[in-house]
A and B are shown apart, each in its own frame.
Chain A
Amino acid sequence: MHKTPDSFCRTAVLYFIFIWLGVMVFAPNLLVLLASFLTKDAEWYLRLPLNLQNYVALTDTALLEIIVKSFSLSIATTVFCLLVGYPFTCIIARISKDYRILFLMLIIVPFWTNSLVRNYALISILSKDGFINTILLKIGLIKSPLVLLNTNFAVFVGMCYTLLPFMILPLYAVLEKIDRSVIEAARDLGAGSAEVFFKITIPLSFSGIVAGCIMVFLPALTLFYVSDILGGADISVLGTIIRNKFTVDKDWPIGAAISVSLTVFMLLLLKLYFKSGNTVEEERQLW
């Protein structure tokens, strides 16, 4: 078949993308999956025989405790981001276009700064002689500085701060699309503000809620640098454990087993998300 330069370029780009995905995504994941069934080796990191021991080790109580704590933190972060992000997004979806762009910019622009840097900035706000303590001491609300840094609270603040936009942007995408006249129709038919919110706005934005929650919940499990920077040595998230298993304990098989379990969990959540997205999409065909 005769090929034009244009179609050659297209084929080349496609091949490049597939090779890239294969080398950088598919192969490493396969290696991690394989590693999770191998045995720890002091010198070579991994050796035969294949076994399921690493997965059994996940039920270790110390590890389970961290998993539970990490999940609790993720849930708290998700709930907070949803409770703050939803009303905020409702407002920006309604206000006039000029302000809307301004508000969206206020959310997006900080994202262009590395989140590591932004979390370091939080230290200066939360530390003993930081912004919050200085203010509270000045107005005399407290006598001695509060311990904010290196607590669960600090990690929670860091997670919420880092992940709030991941809640707002998917919510905005659905809330902005809700037809004003549907809301007006509900009011016209006798619904008060609360009824409009629970019977119309929330159901119509459900796919956005699910997407936002997943995009906050999953990173909150693994953003180890937030807990490193703001939580100190004592507070770990699941991401911290995985990193430590690989780099500190040199226990690759266990680290791999945790990673694989987490990936499977994420896939299940994503499946849930696509399912909810599809049903809403079907109902939305009208619009």
Chain B
Amino acid sequence: MNEQHSLLELKGLTKFFGVNKVLDDVDLVINDGEFLTLLGPSGCGKTTLLRLIAGFERPTSGKILMNGKEISHLPPNRRFVNTIFQQYALFPHMNVFDNVAFGLVMKGIEDEVIEQEVFKALEKVKMSQFYARFPSELSSGQQQRVAMARAFINNPKILLLDEPLSALDYKLRQEMQIELKELQKDLGLTFVYVTHDQEEALSMSDRVVVLNEGMIEQVGSPIQIYEEPKNMFVAKFVGEINVFDGMVLKVDDSNFDTVVEGMFYQLRKPKAFEVSRGSKIKVLLRPEDMVVSKVNSAEMDAPENALRGVINHLVYKGRTIDLWIQTAGGNMIMATQFFNEDDPDIIYAVDDVVNVSWIKDWEVILPDA
């Protein structure tokens, strides 16, 4: 990416619908040229945030600045922002050409230029041969492409996308994810993308904003969001995660001792907060960070740093196998194991007794709220 320069600034944005507080004091900087995703469960305020940027709603309080100038009071037709709607919202009484041309016609550009630009835009989304069709004669994937062309032809500073792929089937969604990302790079546009699909958010974005109940839980790169969740909400919302309760026994310079499910562990001190003796913590681990090994009958006790459990359920996924392991402490652990041709242990069955540990230092420590 180019050097980071902030394009849009949201300052203390708050939005009420009646007595419902939908957005609560949101501060956010959107950089020029980045692919930013607003991720959260339904009702978290992500769509409202998008509509505030588009100008369809006015904030109850707070400011929206574009290149330092306040735009909160401007109507949508006077902002340099375009939206791709969830259901595309193509004009049903106009053909593809007229739909895509609409923004330029509104600007009063001459017909010849419009024609060139429209075909250029349709070319980009591979829809030029359909220019005379009406929206009702297009598949949803084609409508999606037209909606994209109709928006970016206006050369907006920011393109807002409101769950644009949610109406497509799985395979098409995968293809369109790649196409959207390519298009974004190609156009060099800033994308603000709303989704509730965490996989989509992680695979497409430069930065992800996790929203919950009108507040920002975490802003960061997909790797940061996945590997270093700041709180329990982010940890649980993004991907699968195992959560263990722990109690701090002893703290030294870089490590601390804790007990998890009756086992002693020495873990690295977290940077984000101070652990103190006697405080309760959560130890978080992704399923793919778990290490599972079968227990030989000869072996009596679990080795150090390993929990003993029984396989409760397993799902074969081709490249990986997902195991649900019931521990002696009553936790259900999910573990994803990658196949290794040389490892005979990979063949698991329900009711197998296993040892479970994790790759050291890959755990995330959060305070127990």
| Chain A interfacial positions (CB closer than 8 Å to B) | 179, 181-182, 184-192, 195, 199-200, 203-204, 280, 282-287
Q: Select the residue from A189, A280, A283, A286 with max chain B CB neighbours within 10 A.
A: A189
- Ranked nearest first, the 8 interchain pairs of A and B with the lowest CB-CB distance are A190-B106, A189-B103, A181-B89, A185-B89, A285-B136, A286-B136, A187-B76, A283-B92
Q: Which residues of A contact B135 (CB under 8 A)?
A: 283, 286
User: Does B77 sit within 8 A of A, measured CB to CB?
Assistant: yes
A287's partner among B55, B85, B92, B102 (CB-CB below 8 A) is B92
User: Does B82 sit within 8 A of A, measured CB to CB?
Assistant: yes
5 further interface pairs, Cβ-Cβ under 8 Å (given A184-B54, A184-B56): A188-B77, A188-B81, A190-B107, A280-B93, A286-B135
Shortest C-beta distance, A227 to chain B (Å), equals 39
Shortest C-beta distance, B114 to chain A (Å), equals 13
| Chain B interfacial positions (CB closer than 8 Å to A) | 54-56, 75-77, 81-83, 85-87, 89-93, 102-103, 106-107, 134-136, 143, 150-151, 154
Q: Which residues of B contact A199 (CB under 8 A)?
A: 102
Q: Are A286 and B107 in contact (CB under 8 A)?
A: no
Shortest C-beta distance, A35 to chain B (Å), equals 45
B106's partner among A181, A191, A203 (CB-CB below 8 A) is A191
Q: Are A187 and B75 in contact (CB under 8 A)?
A: yes
Overall SS of chain A's interface: helix
User: Considering the chains assembled together, what is the distance between the CA atoms of A192 and B77 in angstroms?
Assistant: 7
Q: Which residues of B contact A200 (CB under 8 A)?
A: 91
Q: Are B77 and A190 in contact (CB under 8 A)?
A: yes
Q: Are A184 and B134 in contact (CB under 8 A)?
A: no
B90's partner among A184, A187, A284, A286 (CB-CB below 8 A) is A286
Q: Which residues of B contact A287 (CB under 8 A)?
A: 92
Q: Select the residue from B56, B75, B81, B92 with max chain A CB neighbours within 10 A.
A: B92
Q: Are B92 and A189 in contact (CB under 8 A)?
A: no
User: Considering the chains assembled together, what is the distance between the CA atoms of A191 and B136 in angstroms?
Assistant: 23
User: Considering the chains assembled together, what is the distance between the CA atoms of A203 and B93 in angstroms?
Assistant: 7
10 A–B contact pairs at CB < 8 A? A184-B56, A185-B90, A185-B150, A186-B91, A187-B76, A191-B77, A200-B91, A204-B93, A284-B136, A285-B136
Instruction: Known A283-B136, A287-B92; judge A184-B87 contact (CB<8 A).
Output: no
B85's partner among A181, A191, A203 (CB-CB below 8 A) is A181
Q: Are B136 and A282 in contact (CB under 8 A)?
A: yes
Shortest C-beta distance, B36 to chain A (Å), equals 19
Q: Are A184 and B89 in contact (CB under 8 A)?
A: yes
Q: Which residues of B contact A280 (CB under 8 A)?
A: 93
Q: Which residues of B contact A190 (CB under 8 A)?
A: 77, 103, 106-107, 154
User: Considering the chains assembled together, what is the distance between the CA atoms of A6 and B312 in angstroms?
Assistant: 55
Q: Select the residue from A181, A195, A200, A203 with max chain B CB neighbours within 10 A.
A: A181
Q: Are B134 and A179 in contact (CB under 8 A)?
A: no
Q: Which residues of A contact B93 (CB under 8 A)?
A: 203-204, 280, 283
Instruction: Known A195-B106, A283-B93, A284-B92; judge A187-B77 contact (CB<8 A).
Output: yes
Shortest C-beta distance, B20 to chain A (Å), equals 15
Instruction: Known A179-B89, A181-B87; judge A189-B82 contact (CB<8 A).
Output: yes
Q: Are B134 and A182 in contact (CB under 8 A)?
A: no
User: Considering the chains assembled together, what is the distance between the CA atoms of A179 and B91 in angstroms?
Assistant: 10
Q: Are B76 and A188 in contact (CB under 8 A)?
A: yes
